[in-house]
Structure 1
Amino acid sequence: MNIALPAVIIFLFLLPGFIFRTRLKRAERTSLDFSPFGQVVAEAVLWSVFAHYLALWAAESWFNLRIDPLVLMKLLSAAPQSQAEATAAVAADFPWLARYFVTLFVASFVVPTLIRFAISRYRLDRSSAPWGTLFRFHEAPWYYLLTGADFSEHEAPDFIIVSAIVEVAKEAVLYVGMLNEFYVNAEGQLDRLVLQNVSRRPISRDKDGAHADGSDGERFYQVDGDTFVLRYSEIITLNIEYVKLTPS
């Protein structure tokens, strides 16, 4: 009795569902998927069944090819003779079976990638969209906050202004700049912000703009450089401002 063979067959049949699920979801955590195990398996099995149904329908309709369910049942059986007969049948049709699985694996990678691109491109995952709850990537909160993806296409911000308070030499300093890029760590937490056109000022010099000598002047000092990297672990508070340019 070959116990490993049924496990390999089940793995091959379920693998497209896991590939599809991984490519479709947008998750900021990469170290480990903490979704309930039952949920992960159920989703993968559901996508696998759907993928095999479409693939078998296409193979039979377009190429007049089909998988014999009896052969599959013999491969999964514990009887050595049945496994041997099924293995011989698979060997006889191995070329088209190999093309079937390779095509299915490639489609399981490409199709969800295109679906995810379409969802983001047409903003179908907005919180205010009719089907937003269905298409929304619930495991990517920073993506929505720092890209303006929750806005409709004509209301999308042209750029995002970040205001962050950082403690420098035991003094609170406010940094303000235009968000260029952001990165999350393996745990899904915001790791760093990449800003441009950054200026700063001590919090002690608040909106009155007064200098130590009582005169008025610029409250902010321009930070030299093209790119400013701000680590999230050093930020005390963070403010996000969405800016939409309108014609005068």
Structure 2
Amino acid sequence: MNIALPALVVFALLLPGFIARSRIKRAERSSLDYSPFGQIVTEAVLWAGGLHLLWLALAALFFGRHVQPTLLLGLMVSDAAAQARSISNLASELSWIAAYFGSLFAFAYGAPALIRAAIIRWRLDRAGAPLSPLLRFHAAPWYYLLTGADFPPGEEPDCIVVSAIVNISGRPWIYMGILDDFFLDPEGRLDRMVLEKVMRRPLDADKQPSTQADEELARFYVVDGDYFVLRYAETVTLNVEYIKLRPAA
């Protein structure tokens, strides 16, 4: 009895589901996936089942090829003789089996990435969208906060202004700039932000707030340079403001 053969068959059948699941997810953690094991397996099995149903339907429609359950069951049983007969019968179909799994693996790798791009392109995952509970990338909170992805199409912010309090030699300073890019560490935590048009001022300058925009800006010191890298670990608080420019009247 070859006990490794049923395990290999199950692995081959479920592998497309695990590939598709990993490719469609937008997760900010890149080191390890700490999702509950039951959730991972359930999602992978559902993906695998859907992909196999699609591929079997296409094989029957275009090539007239149909699955033979008796041969598949013969590979899964503990009877060595039945396994041997199934392997012998499948030997003549080896090219078809290789084409089936090869094309399915390629589809499972490429199609979910296209689906994810379409979700992002048309903002189907934004908060309030009809399909948001199903399509939202729940493992990517920084993506939604720092890209404005929750805005409806056509209402996206023209720029995102970040204000952060940073302690320098025991004195708190406010840094403000336009967000150009952001980076995460392997654990999914915000690592650093790249800002443009950066200004700073001491926090104690806020003790007498100004009502005039010119006076407000006059309290800031312009930071020279094209890009300013702000490490999130050095910030005390972070404020995010979405700016939508309006055409001049």
- TM class by shorter chain equals over 0.9
Q: Is the partner of 2:205 in helix, strand or coil?
A: coil
Partner of 1:143: 143
Partner residue, 2:129: 129
Moved over 4 A (4+): 207-210
- How many residues align structurally? 243
The more displaced of 82-91 and 155-164 is 82-91
Identity of aligned residues (%): 53
CA–CA distance in structure 2, aligned partners of residues 222 and 48 of structure 1? 55
Cα distance in structure 2, aligned partners of 1:178 and 1:90 = 62
- Counterparts in 2 of 1:217 and 1:97: CA distance versus 1, 3 Å: closer
Could you tell me how far apart the structure 2 residues matched to 1:80 and 1:106 are?
A: 32
Distance 2:66 2:183 in 1: 47
Query: 1:90-140: CA deviations, max 9, x gaps?
Result: 221111110110110111111111111111111111112122222211111
Cα 1:23–1:208 shift into 2, 3 Å = same
Q: Counterpart amino acid of 2:119?
A: I
Q: Which runs of 5+ in 1 are unaligned?
A: 211-215
Distance 2:174 2:68 in 1: 69
Q: d(CA) in 1 for partners of 2:154 and 2:71?
A: 56
Cα distance change, pair 217–55 in 1 and its aligned pair in 2 (3 A): closer
Aligned to 2:194: 194
1-structure distance, mates of 2:65, 2:59: 5
Q: Deviations over 1:178-206 (max 9, x none)?
A: 10111111221111111111111111222
2:39 equivalent in structure 1: 39
Distance 2:187 2:14 in 1: 27
* TM-score, normalised relative to structure 2: 0.93
Distance in structure 2 (CA, Å) of the matches to 1:79 and 1:180: 63
C-alpha RMSD over aligned residues: 1.7
The residue number in structure 2 matching 1:71 is: 71
Q: Which residue of 2 aligns with 1:81?
A: 81
